[in-house]
Amino acid sequence: MLGNWSLGDYFKAAAIAFSYEFLTSPKWLGFSPDLLSVTVFAGDAEVPPDHEAAKAWKSLGIPESRIHFLGRKDNWWGPAGQTGPCGPDTEMFIDTLLPACGPDCKPGCHCGKYIEVWNDVFMQYNKTAEGTYLPLAQKTVDTGMGVDRTLAMLQGKKSVFETELFWPVIEHLQSISGKRYAAEPVTDTSFRIIADHLRSSVFIIGDDGGVKPSNLGQGYILRRLIRRAIRHARKIGMEGGFLGPLSEKVVAIYEDFYPELRARAAMIAAELTQEEARFSDTLLKGEHEFEKLLPNLMKNPQKIIPGRVAFRLYDTYGFPIEITEELAREHGMAVDRKGFEEAFGKHQELSKAGAEKIFKGGLADHSEMTTKLHTATHLLHQALRTVLGPHVAQKGSNITVERLRFDFAHPTPMTEEEVRKSEAIVNEQIGRDLPVSMDIMTLEQARAAGAIALFGEKYEEKVKVYTIGDFSKEVCGGPHVERTGVLGKFVIQKEQSSSAGVRRIRAVLENA
């Protein structure tokens, strides 16, 4: 995504003029002005129509027939929460010259005739707690241009999947599946989902702060992407063992701009292959259990699989609800999706109730000893990053009065030398008797100051940043000691695997 800001400098007329020039000038993108259509905010009971933006487009030669007034769903941004800056936007579309889908076909229609390439957001209002919209003293412009879509339009392609950013993957999928792209909508959807989800997965795994598939947090999001790609591969007749080799196509496309992908290509392929194998086992177990249940399920005259049964397949066997629904359709049945969601929600409530019994930072309580151990996790975190590399990131912790348990991202077991070196670094900082200080700032300020903030965590508008001398700086909400000298001797008792790509250290403080 490309974009730019104006923070109180120019506003609508200038922003629209800049957008028009960049889109149509032969010096820049060179789209024909005759192919350009735009949308602006139509207004409602709370905010008037954006005639100012429409006037700006008219002044540049866009006829009224290609200026469309649409509602909040299409042409409004924000606020990010219940209150705050917000405002109308104007969106720019390129006509692909495909036939209109009907008399009401216009920009914003999803038939493929009009492709949005740019969006100028005009933050000119502040929504108050009472729900009123007051003009902002400083008006802001925020723009966003979809690189992939713009590239497709410049090349005269029907979609981003026909550009060089995806086509090598699509071509390979055609060769190994025996199916042809652009042959039928259902097949096309599967091709696109596989290509898109694989690209995302390659970047997530191959990034400097890469994530591995797991059942928690961002690892779970990655797992869902991979498994949805596998499910759609099955729909077009592909068997297992394709994701690892196919990832090489993605790496080859992007390696010149993202050399870290080439450096980690083997690891990326291995992770994808392992996850594909895991999911194959899940599918086999789930399908076997489904077949066992099927005779009794078929006795139901309504041909409905109860939600609690679908949830048990999911909870016990990791069987995705989408595949349960797919199998149900193959046998002329449907799944009680509402019942599944209710069972899932009840499960979440029970899990949340259990989680709420644990304090922030994974502490069993806020005693003096757990406070010392919690402070030690900060020292350990930085020590591991020093010894193993900046890819190390905390994945969880659990602290009792007896010990600390610290989970972190790292692909291989630590050597004994690495364990003892990390332990020695922590003890060195304890021996220095470093001061522990706390500052309150925004998350952006914290990151700018070099503080570690866990990716995927939800933070308040203001965060606490704990600094330990010149050694460690982290965003954290837990309790800490005032100086490291009170921690005693740090001893790592065990280093082991926690899950795929995640290691676990168990440690204690002696004489604390």
| pLDDT, tens digit, 9 for 90 and up, residues 62-72 | 999 999 999 99
pLDDT beyond 80 at 366: no
Looking at residues 51-71, what average pLDDT do you find? 97
Pairing of strands 334-335, 304-305: parallel
At which residue do the structure tokens 């010259």 appear? Answer: 97
The band of 362, judged by pLDDT with boundaries at 50, 70 and 90, is low
Cβ distance 460 to 441 under 8 Å? no
78-137, pLDDT tens digit by residue?
998 899 999 999 999 999 998 999 998 999 898 889 999 999 999 999 999 999 999 999
Cβ distance 205 to 212 under 8 Å? yes
At residue 344, the pLDDT reads 85
At residue 339, the pLDDT reads 94
Cβ distance 210 to 204 under 8 Å? yes
pLDDT beyond 80 at 377: yes
Q: Using omega within 30 degrees of 0 as the cis cutoff, is the peptide bond preceding 79 cis?
A: yes
pLDDT beyond 80 at 354: no
CA–CA gap between residue 80 and residue 72 (Å, rounded): 14
CA–CA gap between residue 19 and residue 6 (Å, rounded): 13
Q: Which residues partner with 142 through β-bridges?
A: 5, 121
The band of 365, judged by pLDDT with boundaries at 50, 70 and 90, is low
CA–CA gap between residue 499 and residue 141 (Å, rounded): 45
Percent of the chain with pLDDT over 70: 95
The band of 346, judged by pLDDT with boundaries at 50, 70 and 90, is confident
At which residue do the structure tokens 């700032």 appear? Answer: 441
All domains of the chain, ordered by start, with CATH? 5-154 (3.30.930.10), 160-299 (no CATH), 360-510 (3.30.980.10)
Rounded-to-10 torsion of CA 374, 379, 381, 385: 180
pLDDT beyond 60 at 361: no
At residue 359, the pLDDT reads 44
At residue 269, the pLDDT reads 95
At residue 358, the pLDDT reads 43
CA–CA gap between residue 236 and residue 222 (Å, rounded): 22
Strand, helix or coil for residue 101: coil
H/E segment holding residue 94: strand 84-95
At residue 215, the pLDDT reads 67
Burial of 453 (0-12, 13-18, 19+ CB in 10 A): middle
The band of 182, judged by pLDDT with boundaries at 50, 70 and 90, is confident
pLDDT beyond 50 at 341: yes
248-279, pLDDT tens digit by residue?
999 999 999 999 999 999 999 999 999 998 88
The band of 356, judged by pLDDT with boundaries at 50, 70 and 90, is very low
> Closest Cα partner for 445 from 433, 422, 462, 426?
462
Looking at residues 330-349, what average pLDDT do you find? 88
At residue 355, the pLDDT reads 44
Cβ distance 165 to 143 under 8 Å? no
Q: Residue 152 half-sphere exposure, CB side, CA atoms within 13 Å?
A: 24
155-172, pLDDT tens digit by residue?
999 889 999 999 999 999
pLDDT beyond 70 at 492: yes
Rounded-to-10 torsion of CA 481, 486, 491, 495: 10
Residue with more model confidence, 216 or 213: 213
Computed over every residue of the chain, the mean pLDDT equals 90
Percent of the chain with pLDDT over 90: 65
6-26, pLDDT tens digit by residue?
999 999 999 999 999 999 999
Q: How many residues does the chain have?
A: 512
Enter the pTM of the model: 0.61
Looking at residues 492-499, what average pLDDT do you find? 91
Q: Please state which of the ranges 190-199, 211-220, 243-252 shows the lowest mean pLDDT.
A: 211-220
The band of 364, judged by pLDDT with boundaries at 50, 70 and 90, is low
